[in-house]
Amino acid sequence: MKKPNNFSCYTTLGLNMVVGMGVFTYAGYWIDQKRGGGEVATLIGMFLGLFYCGYEVWKLMRIDNEK
């Protein structure tokens, strides 16, 4: 299997981080709005987004170390 080049890996990483943070944060915000306010679910969504970003960085580093 051909390994992707560094440019495509890092571009994909940036896109995944932006989309991941946006989706998880918006989902938390949406849940908060459905519950009638507050910010607990939004904060949980933000932390889940950060966790997802960390996972994406870990995947990239694992692929980069295999080269």
Count Cβ neighbours within 10 Å for each residue of 47-67 and write b for 16 or more, e otherwise. ebbeebbeebeeebeeeeeee
pTM for the whole structure: 0.79
Instruction: Show the domain range for 29.
Output: 16-66
Q: Tell me, yes or no, whether 7 lies in a domain.
A: no
Model pLDDT, residue 14: 86
Q: Tell me, yes or no, whether 10 lies in a domain.
A: no
> How many structural domains comprise the chain?
1
pLDDT tens digits for 15-63? 989 999 999 999 999 999 999 888 999 999 999 999 999 999 998 888 8
Q: Tell me, yes or no, whether 35 lies in a domain.
A: yes
Q: Tell me, yes or no, whether 58 lies in a domain.
A: yes
